[in-house]
Amino acid sequence: MRVDVLTLFPAMFDGPLNTSILKRAQADGHLDAQVHDIRAYTTDKHHTCDDTPFGGGAGMVMKIAPLAAAIEAISATDERPPHVIYLTPDGTTLTQAIAQELRTQPRLMLICGHYEGIDERVRTRYVHQELSIGDYVLTGGELAALVVIDAVTRLLDGVISADSLAEESHSDSLLEYPHYTRPAVWQEMDIPAVLRSGDHGAIARWRRLQRLERTFQRRPDLLAHAQLDKHDRAFLRSLGWHDPLWTERPPRKHTPKPLPEPSSARHDTAE
């Protein structure tokens, strides 16, 4: 996948793109990340990229011309048209499902805003998708762009093992189970005995229950989208989860037994 980043602060990408998984993904040819300085697309001697807002008010706005020139020139450097994303706090909140969709794109272009943001007409003309990384305001889109790059790159084929991705938090609307590694006992804190039992079936069941319990405790909203079988549902109900598919069986209607015949009507043979 090719990712073009448009930013006023290219140096912010130096460390993250040259470390750990993102560095290896590039070295192995899975990710081609190219960071572009928007100032290189200005035409005035001061390389001006911002101006005061029409209508007045605080702050500066990123100008159309350098951004439009950058988007068009950089788009044309590859025959694959980019899927253009603007990082913005008023965009759709990034989720694992969105990251999964983005991993299928051959090319992304990430636009990082600064100041009060970018001229709205850039959004209207060029942007296909607007993403926020959460309900808070950053000084610029660079950290948000790095979050998108990281979340998407680790999902690209060959970047990390498929096993590691299988039961991750948010992969299937359940959070992940807890992890432990050596030593088994640390400051009198032991690990759950089942993890040392060697019984793979028991370990898998324990992990499943841990995932269910964690999700119920921390993010019960996710359970509405999870694939749950009848055992999962029963376990969650035992924790106090309100199962939308569960209707208590109504108490059986009491049908009184017919009364025994009065003794006078009995045919008495005892005499």
Site for ligand SAM, rule CB under 6 A:
87-90, 112-114, 116-117, 132-134, 136-141, 144
| Nearest distance, CB of residue 10 and ligand SAM, angstroms | 15
| Nearest distance, CB of residue 160 and ligand SAM, angstroms | 25
| Nearest distance, CB of residue 152 and ligand SAM, angstroms | 15
**Beta-ladder partners of 62:** 50, 118
The C-alpha atoms of residue 252 and residue 166 are separated, in whole angstroms, by 45
The C-alpha atoms of residue 112 and residue 248 are separated, in whole angstroms, by 53
- Tell me whether residue 66 or residue 113 sits nearer to ligand SAM (CB atom): 113
3-class DSSP assignment, residue 170: coil
| Nearest distance, CB of residue 131 and ligand SAM, angstroms | 6
**CB proximity list for 130: less than 8 A, separation 6 or greater:** 85, 86, 87, 88, 90, 91, 92, 123
- The two beta strands, 83-93 and 107-112, are parallel
- Tell me whether residue 132 or residue 153 sits nearer to ligand SAM (CB atom): 132
| Nearest distance, CB of residue 92 and ligand SAM, angstroms | 10
- Tell me whether residue 112 or residue 159 sits nearer to ligand SAM (CB atom): 112
Residue with the CB atom nearest ligand SAM in the bound state: 113
The C-alpha atoms of residue 250 and residue 94 are separated, in whole angstroms, by 43
- Tell me whether residue 82 or residue 117 sits nearer to ligand SAM (CB atom): 117
- Tell me whether residue 92 or residue 217 sits nearer to ligand SAM (CB atom): 92
3-class DSSP assignment, residue 161: coil
